[in-house]
Structure 1
Amino acid sequence: MSTASDADDDQTGRFVRQPNGRIRPLSPHLQIWRWHVTMLASILFRATIGAASFGAILVIGWLTALAFGPEAFAGAAGFMGSPLGLIIGFGLTLVLFSFILNGARHVYNDTGNGLSVPSANLLSHIAVWGPVVLAVLFWVVLFASGRVSL
Structure 2
Amino acid sequence: MTHPNPTSGDARDDQTGRFVTQPNGHVRPLSPHMSIWRWHVTMAASILFRATIIAATVGAVIATAWLAALASGPDAYAAALGVAGSPLGLLVGFGLTVVLFSFILNGARHTINDTGNGLTPKSATLLSNISVWGPIPLAVLFWVVLFAVGRVGL
Give the TM-score normalised by the residue count of structure 1.
0.89
Q: Which residue of 1 aligns with 2:4?
A: 3
Percent identity, aligned pairs only, is 68
CA distance in 2, matches of 1:5, 1:60: 57
CA distance in 1, matches of 2:55, 2:132: 15
Q: Which residue of 1 aligns with 2:70?
A: 66
Whether 1:148 and 2:149 are equivalent positions in the alignment is no
CA distance in 2, matches of 1:114, 1:4: 38
- What letter matches 1:99 in structure 2? F
Matches within 5 A, 1:15-34: 15-16=19-20, 19-20=25-26, 24-28=28-32, 33-34=37-38
CA distance in 2, matches of 1:38, 1:4: 33
Q: Which residue of 1 aligns with 2:128?
A: 124
The partner residue of 1:100 within 100, 104, 118 is 104
Query: What's the secondary structure of 2:134's corresponding residue?
Result: helix
Change (3 A) 1:30 1:145: farther
The unaligned stretches of length 5 or more in structure 1 are none
Q: Which residue of 2 aligns with 1:77?
A: 81
The partner residue of 2:50 within 46, 52, 60 is 46
Q: Which residue of 2 aligns with 1:56?
A: 60
- What letter matches 2:55 in structure 1? A
- What letter matches 1:141 in structure 2? V
Change (3 A) 1:26 1:103: same
Give the TM-score normalised by the residue count of structure 2.
0.86
CA distance in 2, matches of 1:82, 1:26: 52
- Count of residue pairs brought into register by the alignment: 146
- What letter matches 2:85 in structure 1? G
- What letter matches 2:3 in structure 1? S
Query: What's the secondary structure of 2:20's corresponding residue?
Result: strand
